[in-house]
Amino acid sequence: MNEWWLIGLIFSISLVVCAVLVFPLRRSRILSASLVSGIMLFVVITYYYWGNFEQWQDYIHRQEAQQLAKNMLKTIKSPQELINKLKNKLDDSPSSAKGWFLLGRLYSSQNELKLSADAFAKAHQLDSSNEQYTVHYAHSLWQMNDQKFNSTILDIFNQLLITNPKQPDALAMLAMSAFINQDYENAINYWQRLLKLAPEQSEEAMAIRKAIAKAQEKLNTRRAYND
């Protein structure tokens, strides 16, 4: 395992420290042994709690997984070949929500809307608590419906907001739906909530502010007309 070189390095350094500290006490074997044991134990505990041992292991394992994925992708000649390989995997493991989700992403990248919607639906069915699966499922239904909202799509996004009031995709889609239906007050409300989640000087924040301004302008025009 790659992480053990770091552990070995720390222990090597600790041995040098032990030699320096213990040498003056070499005549007292008990005291020397106690000091060495104490130093080694301190090094292990300190590294584990303060040296991010678990985080380091996670980093190494992520690097290994990324390298494995890169090596696998080198053997893939086309997106369709990758789709076929994943479908074969799902034949063996049909209950893999993550597998169906990845298949949906692949189909979506190839503009296969019906197939991607079916795959996202399967992922959502297997793990409805996964926010990412639910968002992609709802978005695929919206695309399949000629980018128009219906009660099923709106219900999914509303449920997402109940579970997570700061869910950005749900806020954005519900704001769009409200604006299209000339429900400008709700559109502004959704966009204002979304604006709080965006970095202040980001392009996203600027776009949201423009959308709010446009909705506010239309709302003011309506109020002036009604007056």
Q: Are 14 and 41 in contact (CB under 8 A)?
A: no
Enter the tokens of residue 78.
């086309």
pLDDT of residue 182: 95
Question: What backbone phi and psi angles, to 5 degrees, belong to 25?
Answer: -105, 20
What's the pLDDT at 167? 96
| Cβ neighbours, 10 Å, residue 178 | 21
Phi-psi region of 182 (alpha: psi -120 to 50; beta: other; left: phi over 0): left
pTM given for the model: 0.66
pLDDT digits (tens), the chain, 227 positions: 444 444 454 445 444 444 444 445 444 554 444 544 544 444 444 444 444 445 545 555 566 656 655 565 566 667 888 899 899 999 999 999 999 999 999 999 899 999 999 999 999 999 999 999 999 999 999 999 999 999 999 999 999 999 999 999 999 999 999 999 999 999 999 999 999 999 999 999 999 999 999 999 999 998 888 86
Residue ranges per domain, the chain? Answer: 78-148, 169-226
Closest among 53, 24, 50, 21 to 37, alpha carbons compared: 21
Q: Which CATH number fits domain 78-148: 1.25.40.10, 2.30.110.10, 3.40.1170.20, 3.40.1180.10?
A: 1.25.40.10
